[in-house]
Amino acid sequence: MKFSSDNSKNKKHTLWHDWLTYDFIVGIALQLLLYFVAMFVWSMRFPKLSFERTPILNVHYLVMFLPFIVGVFGLWARTYELPVWAKFFTKVSLPVLILGVISAVVLCIVPPYCSSTTKTEQYMIVDRDVDAESFDICRHIFPSHISGAPSNTSYRYYKYSSILEDDFHLSLGETLSSDQFKEESDRILALDILKDADLSTSKDITLIDTTLNGDLIVHITLDSAYNRIIYAAGYNRIK
pLDDT tens, 119-175?
Answer: 999 999 999 999 999 999 999 999 999 988 888 999 999 999 888 899 999 999 999
Give alpha helix (H) positions in 16-54: 19-36
Phi, then psi, of 110 in degrees rounded to 5:
-125, 80
Query: Is this prediction's pTM over 0.75?
Result: yes
Give alpha helix (H) positions in 41-174: 55-79, 83-109, 132-141
Q: What is the DSSP letter of 14?
A: -
pLDDT at residue 55 in the model: 86
Give the 3-state secondary structure of residue 5: helix
> Letter for the amino acid at 162?
S
Q: Residue 4 pLDDT > 80, yes or no?
A: no
Q: Residue 6 pLDDT > 50, yes or no?
A: no
Give the 3-state secondary structure of residue 100: helix
